[in-house]
Amino acid sequence: MISLPIVDGNPSDSGVKVWRSLPHLEQDPQLIETASEEFFPGASDAPSGSNRRQFMQLLGASMAMAGLAACRRPVEHIMPFADRPEETIPGIPLQYATAMNFRGTARPLVVKSYDGRPVKVEGNGQHPNASGASGVFEQASLLQLYDPDRSKSTLRTGTPANWEDFLSLCQRLQTGIRRVAVLAAPDNSPTRARLRTQLENQFPGALWVDYRSEGDDAESMGLQMAYGQALQAAYDFENADVIVSLDADFLGPHAKNGGLDTYSFARGRKLNGAQDRMSRLYVAESTYTVTGIMADHRRRMRSDAVSQLASQLATALGVYTGATPDSFASAIARDLQRTNGNCIVVAGESQPAEVHALCALMNYALGVVGTTVTLLDTGTPVQVAQSQSLPALVEEMRAGRVDVLLMLGVNPVYDAPHALDFQGALERVSDTIHVGLHVDETARESTWHIPSAHYLESWGDGRSQDGTLTAVQPLIAPLYEEARSEIEILALLGSGQFQRGYDLVRETWMPVLPGEDFETDWRRVLHDGYLEGTSYPSVAPVPSFGGQLQGPGTGLELVLRLDPTVLDGSFANNAWCQELPDPVTKIVWDNVLVVSPKTAEDLELSCEYSKGRYYSDVVTLAANDQVIELPVWILPGHADDTVSVTLGYGRNISTTRSERDTPFWDKDDETDVYARGTLATGVGTNVSLLRDLLARPVISGVELTKTGRKWTIVTTQDHGILDTEARPIVRMATLDEYREDPAFALQGEVPTPGSDVKTDFQDYPELWKDSHPSKASAFRDSDYWQNQWGMVIDLNSCTGCNACIIACQAENNIQVVGKKEVGNGRELHWLRVDRYFVTEGGEELDADPKIAVQPMPCQHCENAPCESVCPVAATVHSPDGTNQMIYNRCIGTRYCANNCPYKVRRYNFYNWSKTIPGTVQMAQNPNVSIRFRGVMEKCSFCIQRIRGAQKRAGLEKRALQRDEVSSACQQACPAEAITFGDLNDDQSQVSQAMSNARSYKLLAELNIKPRVSYLARVHNPNNALGSAG
């Protein structure tokens, strides 16, 4: 029972003391104890039961507890829209044009928002410099917004601090002479440029360094070297007949302009008729990349040997005097010259500026500048290479000549070369301010950390690749009150006054929109997302090259690249990105040291496949006095004597989220990828440390030692060589073969046993032909019957860049299962991109295989084998010809998945959707059910999009327009490889594509009548080089 102390009548401070006895005066402990009550405890209690006071206490407590039971949830104020915001109809999504800064360029986007909550990112198709497609990173940026580990509050030396304190710091900094430096991620925003000037005016001598984690922007430096001014090149791959890539992965998802370049490249290879033209792509590269997959001739070589090829090529073209061209280089040169100015030579990011300059020279000599290569004058002054400016800044910092360092969206403690000792220099700066999405490596070492607002939460602007002014507008208020955008902090530091991003951007745009009515123009810009006619002017100066090409290095070469799934590590805490298989190796949740089979043999490295997982040798890699450990991965087609690895792993991000801990019988803590702190922490190894002071991506003479330990590597697909003869899964031919027989793909059909006659599978005898469900009146009488949905995937366009996978994941609420469960074969991607190594004429796997990629969604078979085996009719055919999965009805026998010949059905082995963190729940598409544990799921042809479009058409009392519906994968695909639509409409894109001569259906011989057709792939080899190329 609760006993309350008796009020002590002892006034201690008044000076006058009232006392009863001497022991009382002397504070005798024994007396105090007994005197606390006049009688001993309990003496005054009622003889039995409760006394009045206890009764009242109990009564009160029980009342209080009864009241508590009714308020388990915190009180929230749910307000009706008394005044409905304009154009807002609950449940009807709104779309806003915005843009995302990707590696310094704005990528124009349209973002879909449900009830104020952005749920899907698409490309802005109306933008003059965008295709309407989007890539892996645009799609995945949505989950960045909802990342549960995002930084939420201002930190001062690691502890939560007041925003007011930071404000006053900035005000204080305005007075006196401060030496300010800014280290910022590249961004071509005009507002930022304006604020930079403001800052430089306020703090004379302020240093500004654009910081790229991958090091120098070799392309810009190369162009600058050749032309003497800061230029930017834009390539028109569509109209190029011959494209030469010197280690350039320009189609890669991480490429600076990957989306647009893929779009134009794919357009240059669309084959609708037998006589259509098709470009030819030569690729020289060290590791296998997405661009290498698309190559017609691929030459694997060390990255530092590519400059030799460039030199040979330039010599053959007569613009340089270098090495004597070999047969490969001279054949390419002849091919380039043959095109009469419709060709492109590009060099890659891992190549030094000299090679880029030589490319510029070659392009100029080939007369393509102005036709397929456009040089844009960005108007920026001559740039200093990062390899010069960054060490200079660090030197200043170390010398104590920097008082304030502002770091905007960068993480140099993690990714600056170790030789720089950035962290050490940081300690010498009195005020270091880090603005970022996460409490990352740099945030923890800085005196101040300000949570950065995501681009979907902030106002801003930028320029697209061609310079078109593009607006960035928020779709949601910052999820965390203290989050501020980078320009707001920059303005604050520059002026001492906090200004809202909106005002900052408008101020920049005032002079840009000088018309009578700024508001109208401004609204127009926000609506469209861009301002027409603001692209950079194109110029055509004369290049020169006085540089010296370096010869190939010695010893083992290491090449560092940006990762096609987590980029430089900024997407490392993104579950979608971590679980996205690498386009070539298909590895998830890891970075590996990629080596060729021969190099692996020479170095006695192994990567053993056992029981669904790979067990790789862990090696130590030593360069520039740094040693790291990495598991190896043996990749056929990789160049010998060189190894490659991607940046962006080995992150260490802090979080305030508590770890999920469940009792031993509950596996939630094991199956929840978010259960153990931040996702990125502990995945892979940070390799950026190995770089030298100049952060060069190619390191010669690395030392590689086996540790004797093994590391488990998980892939979504096993190694395996495809015998295209026996299993005509991916069908391929050369351009000549295609011209001879455009329908060559059907040659691949399995002949009827015992004869050479190909069977038309449409003519297969069919059981119950007349009583097939599709003939039933329930189908025929349905309104849905008038549309029959189908899909065509052009294997000649698909690069395997993964954009479709992430788009599908974002659209369809596909959960992430983590490394262990992917290893168990339980990944949930509805759409996968299959990768096959293809060798011809019984070559060894090691030699130089081609790679074929094939996106694999549900094929929506008309005679679906999954439907007939479900005991509860949970998967059925819709009248509009899609194979539907009824989650509510599914009891989870998994029979359908077994009987699917494409194995595209995915099963919820655990309750993955149960443990999604609250913020990630906001990323879920409200039009798609979240699947419970124990049910099957699979590609639905984005049925919610079909029904949405039909609903819209119904409301507007009109018929569905031609090609009005697009699937998420189709919309994202930068190569336009996926066509989706109504097969009942002869004029629809999909019907047109299906009638393409290259069309074939996979496993048609099973008589399952898939609704997805593939267009066979065509290679365009140079006959002068032979097929081996």
Partner 1 sequence: MASSTNKTVTLPAGADPPLVTGNLGFHDITQLVSYHTEKRPPSAWYMAIAVSSTLLCVLLIMIAYLVWNGIGVWGNNNPVGWGWPIVNFVFWVGIGHAGTLISAILFLFRQRWRTAINRSAEAMTLFAVICALLFPTIHVGRIWVIYWTLPIPNQMEMWPQFKSPLLWDVFAVSVYFIVSLVFWYVGLVPDLATLRDRARNALRRRVTGFFALGWTGANRHWRNYEKTYLLLAALATPLVLSVHSVVSFDFAVSIIPGWHTTIFPPYFVAGAIFSGFAMVMTLMILARKIYGIQNIITMDHLEKMAIIILLTGSMVGFAYITEFFIAWYSQVEYEQYAFLNRATGPYAWAYWTMMSCNLLFPQFFWIKRLRRSIPFLFITSIIVNIGMWFERFVITVISLHRDFLPSSWDYFNPTIVDVLTFAGSFGLFMTLFLIFLRYLPMVAIAEVKMVLPESDPHYYHKHDSEGEEH
Contact positions vs partner 1 (CB under 8 A): 611-612, 665-667, 671, 717-718, 720, 722, 726-727, 729, 750, 753-754, 821, 824-827, 832, 834-836, 854, 856, 865, 868-873, 889-895, 897-899, 901-903, 905-911, 932-936, 1003, 1006, 1008
Q: Least separation, in Å, of the C-beta of 1029 and partner 1? A: 25
Mind giving me the DSSP string for 517-569?
-HHHHHHHHHHHSEETT-PPPEE-PPP-----PPPP--S-EEEEE-BTTTBTT
Q: Least separation, in Å, of the C-beta of 874 and partner 1? A: 8
Residue 806 near residue 576 (C-beta atoms within 8 A): yes
- Cα–Cα distance measured from residue 151 to residue 584, given in angstroms and rounded to the nearest whole number: 33
From residue 168, give the alpha-carbon distance in Å to each of 475, 492, 689, 991.
30, 10, 36, 65
Q: Least separation, in Å, of the C-beta of 931 and partner 1? A: 10
Q: Is 805 exposed, middle or buried (0-12, 13-18, 19+ CB in 10 A)?
A: buried
- Among candidate residues 1022, 1026, 1023, 1029, the one with its CA nearest the CA of residue 242: 1022
- Cα–Cα distance measured from residue 928 to residue 885, given in angstroms and rounded to the nearest whole number: 12
Residue 552 near residue 302 (C-beta atoms within 8 A): yes
Identify which of residues 451 and 823 has a Cβ nearer to partner 1 in the complex. 823
Residue 691 near residue 560 (C-beta atoms within 8 A): yes
DSSP 851: E
**What single letter denotes the amino acid at residue 767?**
L
Q: Least separation, in Å, of the C-beta of 914 and partner 1? A: 10
Tokens for 498, please give them: 């906090």
Identify which of residues 747 and 911 has a Cβ nearer to partner 1 in the complex. 911
Q: Least separation, in Å, of the C-beta of 761 and partner 1? A: 14
Q: Least separation, in Å, of the C-beta of 1002 and partner 1? A: 8
DSSP 2: -
Identify which of residues 371 and 662 has a Cβ nearer to partner 1 in the complex. 662
Identify which of residues 300 and 877 has a Cβ nearer to partner 1 in the complex. 877
Identify which of residues 224 and 859 has a Cβ nearer to partner 1 in the complex. 859
Q: Least separation, in Å, of the C-beta of 710 and partner 1? A: 17
Identify which of residues 906 and 945 has a Cβ nearer to partner 1 in the complex. 906
Tokens for 905, please give them: 């059905």
Tokens for 866, please give them: 């999954």
Mind giving me the DSSP string for 491-516?
HHHHHSS---HHHHHHHHHHHH--SS
Identify which of residues 428 and 758 has a Cβ nearer to partner 1 in the complex. 758
Q: Least separation, in Å, of the C-beta of 929 and partner 1? A: 14
- Using DSSP's 3-state secondary structure scheme, residue 441 falls into helix
Identify which of residues 338 and 903 has a Cβ nearer to partner 1 in the complex. 903
Q: Is 271 exposed, middle or buried (0-12, 13-18, 19+ CB in 10 A)?
A: buried
Q: Least separation, in Å, of the C-beta of 873 and partner 1? A: 4
Angle value at C-alpha 572, between 720 and 812, nearest 5 degrees: 70
Residue 467 near residue 377 (C-beta atoms within 8 A): no
Q: What is the dihedral of CA 197, 199, 200, 206, to 10 degrees?
A: -140
Identify which of residues 502 and 932 has a Cβ nearer to partner 1 in the complex. 932
From residue 1029, give the alpha-carbon distance in Å to each of 277, 439, 667, 721, 850.
21, 49, 52, 20, 11
Identify which of residues 845 and 897 has a Cβ nearer to partner 1 in the complex. 897
Q: Is 615 exposed, middle or buried (0-12, 13-18, 19+ CB in 10 A)?
A: middle
Identify which of residues 108 and 855 has a Cβ nearer to partner 1 in the complex. 855
Identify which of residues 825 and 954 has a Cβ nearer to partner 1 in the complex. 825
Identify which of residues 873 and 1024 has a Cβ nearer to partner 1 in the complex. 873
**Looking at 576-648, which runs of residues are DSSP E strands?**
593-595, 607-610, 613-623, 626-634, 642-646
Q: Least separation, in Å, of the C-beta of 815 and partner 1? A: 13
Q: Least separation, in Å, of the C-beta of 329 and partner 1? A: 36
Identify which of residues 278 and 869 has a Cβ nearer to partner 1 in the complex. 869
- Cα–Cα distance measured from residue 962 to residue 985, given in angstroms and rounded to the nearest whole number: 8
Q: Least separation, in Å, of the C-beta of 144 and partner 1? A: 28
Identify which of residues 701 and 751 has a Cβ nearer to partner 1 in the complex. 751
From residue 721, give the alpha-carbon distance in Å to each of 69, 727, 823.
63, 11, 20
- Cα–Cα distance measured from residue 581 to residue 639, given in angstroms and rounded to the nearest whole number: 22
Residue 836 near residue 730 (C-beta atoms within 8 A): yes
DSSP 902: T
Give the list of residues 6+ apart from residue 161 with CB closer than 8 angstroms, or none: 153, 154, 155, 448
- Cα–Cα distance measured from residue 460 to residue 1009, given in angstroms and rounded to the nearest whole number: 50
DSSP 639: P
Identify which of residues 42 and 612 has a Cβ nearer to partner 1 in the complex. 612
Q: Cβ of 807: how many Cβ atoms within 10 Å?
A: 29
Q: Least separation, in Å, of the C-beta of 771 and partner 1? A: 12
Q: Least separation, in Å, of the C-beta of 788 and partner 1? A: 23
Q: Least separation, in Å, of the C-beta of 600 and partner 1? A: 22
Identify which of residues 639 and 1015 has a Cβ nearer to partner 1 in the complex. 1015
Q: Least separation, in Å, of the C-beta of 833 and partner 1? A: 9
Q: Least separation, in Å, of the C-beta of 509 and partner 1? A: 50
Identify which of residues 442 and 716 has a Cβ nearer to partner 1 in the complex. 716
The residue behind tokens 């048609």 is 1004
The residue behind tokens 């603001």 is 534
